[in-house]
Structure 1
C-alpha cells in the first residue's frame, strides 16, 4: 500500500472534526511510509492550512457537489486506498468509482449513507452499527469501538497532571461551535462575578471568533482567548475542568484524564457520551440546557477538588491514543488481502 487519498469535508456548517480525525489517520499512515494526499474544496483547504501539524499535499476542487470533476480527479490516478469522511459528500461518486479503487475506507458516525461502499468502516464511538455495516457489505472490516478512536500524534506524548497541579476552566465547542454556545456561556459566567480563570478556545471554522475576542476584552474575570489553538493536547492537560462539545473532543479529554462537562450538540453523539458519563469522569448535558444551570454546574465542580480528583481517577486506563495506528494496521491488512485476491 503506497498511497491514500482522503476526501473530506470541513466548513463552518460541518465543523472540522472530520478533517481532524483524517489528519490523525494520515499521520499514522505516513509513519508507515504511506503517501497521503487530500482532496478538499476551498472551505476545507483554508481550514487545513491553519493547522500547525498540516503536512500533506492538497488536490483542490471547486465544489464538493461537482461530482464529474471529483470522479475524474480520483480516476485519473486511482489511489490504493480512498478514505471518505463527511455528511454531505455525494454518494454518486462512490457508485462511479467503486470498481476502480482497491480499498475504500469510510469514517462513519452512524449515518450509514456511505458505508455500503466500504471495505473498511471506522467508527471509534460505537460498535452498535456493526451488524448493519455487515448487512450493507458482507465482507466489510469493522474498526469500531474504543480501540479505534482517532487522535493525532501529539496526544501520544502528553504528561498527565493531577488535578491539584491544574489550573482554570477551558471552554471549547469544537471547530465551529455549531450551537453558538460560547458567547452566552461567557456572558453568564461574567454575571456571577466569578474570578475563576478561563481559557476560551475557538476553532478555525468558528464564524464568531472576532466577536468572542472582543467580548473577552470586556469580561471581569481572568480570561484568555485562543483562536485556532495548535496544541489541544497541552490545553486539555492543563485544564482543571473542561466545558467541551461532545464528539471527537471527548476522546481527547479522556486520554488527557481531564474532568469535563460534555455538551451534546448532535444526536449521533448520544451513545458515546452516555458511556463516558457512566465511566464517571464527565457530566453530560444537552445543548438546550439553561446556560445559567451550566454555569452553576461548572463553578460548583471547579470549587470541589475532591470530586474533580475522583472524576479524574475514573478516566485512568480507559483511553489511549493508539486508535489511528490500529486503524492503519487494519487498512493495510484489508488492502493486502484484496491485492492478493486480484493477483
Structure 2
C-alpha cells in the first residue's frame, strides 16, 4: 500500500490550520487506499492525539534542520512514499530543495509563494490563481493546483448539508485554533455589550492557553448573555451550518464557512490571510475586518450588530456563498495528482 508522508506543524503562534488541511488530504487519500504518516512538532502531536477522527500515523519531528531532512527522507524511503507533502512557513529554501531530491514527488501547500517553491513537483494554493504566471516562470515543470477548486476541507464538510438561514440561530465567534493575539475575550465582551439578546457560541481551539480559558470561563459565568462555550470542537461543520452569523479568524476557517454557506465577518490577523480574504469578500458572502495591528473592537461590534439585525443582507450573503462553495477540494487535488503521475509515467516510458 502506498503512503503519503506529511511534514507540518502547529502551535500557540502558528495555530492548527496547516495540520488540519493536511488531514483533509490524508482523509481523501485514505478513501483511495493510501496510508499517511505525519511528522510533526510536539504541540501539533498533542493536538492530534485529542482528535477522535484522526487519519494517519504520527511521528515526532527531530530537532534541527539537517536531522529533520534525514528523518523525512528516511521515512519516505521506508514507507515507499507515493508523495511527500510540506505545509508550513518554517521550512527554509535549502530544506525544500533537499527534500525535492527524494524518490517521491514533492507537494508544497503554499499561501505566500514560499521561498523554495521552485523545487516542488506540485504546488497547491487555493488563493494562488493571480500568481500562476509567477509560479510557472520560476517552476515551469510543476503541476499547478491553483484556485478555489483545491480548497482542502475535511470529509465532515463533504457529508454536511448547509441548513437554510431561517433555521439558524447562533452568533458564533471563533478566532482559530490558538488565538495568538488574544482577541476572543475582548471581542466577546464588545459583542455582548452591543447584542445582549443574541445567543452566542464561542469556540476556542486546543492551542488556547489555560489562563485565557479561565478568564473566558469567569466572564461567561457572570455574564447575563446566553453564551455556550465549546472548547476543541471535533465537528466544526455542524457548528458552522447552525450559525446565522460567524465572526472568525480569516485562516482556513473561511473555506469551511463558505462551504457551509455561513454569512461571516472575517478578521485578518496575519498577512498570509489577506489575499484569500479579499477574494472571499469580493464574492459577497463575507466582510473582512482588519485585525493585524490595533483592532477597532467597538466598530467591529457595531458592524456585527448591524448585520445581525439585517435579515435581507444576511440572506444575500447566504445565497452568495452557494456558487463559490467547495467541499471536495482534497479529492480534486488527489485526482489531479493521479492524472499528472499517469501522464508523467507515460512520458517516461
TM bucket, shorter chain: over 0.9
For 1:228, the equivalent position in structure 2 comes to 232
Q: Over residues 79-123 of structure 1, what are the superposed CA-to-partner deviations in whole Å (9 max), with x where a residue is unaligned? A: 221000000124433333322233000000024223122111010
CA distance in 1: counterparts of 2:195 and 2:319, whole angstroms: 31
Normalised TM-score (structure 2): 0.92
Q: Over residues 246-292 of structure 1, what are the superposed CA-to-partner deviations in whole Å (9 max), with x where a residue is unaligned? A: 12111111111111111111222222222222222111110144101
For 2:66, the equivalent position in structure 1 comes to 67
For 1:322, the equivalent position in structure 2 comes to 328
Normalised TM-score (structure 1): 0.94
Q: CA deviation at 1:73?
A: 4.3
Aligned counterpart for 2:163 among listed residues 161, 164, 170: 161
SS of 1:240's partner is strand
SS of 2:188's partner is helix
Aligned counterpart for 2:123 among listed residues 108, 114, 121: 121
RMSD: 1.9
For 1:188, the equivalent position in structure 2 comes to 190
SS of 2:323's partner is coil
Q: CA deviation at 1:72?
A: 3.6
CA contact (8 A) 2:39 2:60 kept: yes
Aligned counterpart for 1:178 among listed residues 173, 177, 180: 180
* C-alpha spacing 1:108/1:226, structure 2 compared with 1 (3 Å): same
Q: Which runs of 5+ in 1 are unaligned?
A: none
Pairwise mapping of residues 19-38 of structure 1 onto structure 2 (< 5 A)? Answer: 19-38=19-38
For 2:56, the equivalent position in structure 1 comes to 56
Task: Indicate the larger mover: 51-60 or 101-110.
Answer: 51-60
SS of 1:129's partner is helix
1:246 matched to 2:245:
no
Q: CA deviation at 1:320?
A: 1.9
Q: Over residues 175-203 of structure 1, what are the superposed CA-to-partner deviations in whole Å (9 max), with x where a residue is unaligned? A: 11132211111122333461211000011
CA contact (8 A) 1:193 1:220 kept: no
1:237 matched to 2:241:
yes
Q: Which runs of 5+ in 2 are unaligned?
A: none
Q: CA deviation at 1:66?
A: 4.0
CA distance in 2: counterparts of 1:69 and 1:153, whole angstroms: 30
SS of 2:141's partner is coil
Q: Over residues 147-176 of structure 1, what are the superposed CA-to-partner deviations in whole Å (9 max), with x where a residue is unaligned? A: 101100010111222221111200001111
Task: Indicate the larger mover: 179-188 or 168-177.
Answer: 179-188
CA contact (8 A) 2:136 2:142 kept: yes
SS of 1:217's partner is helix
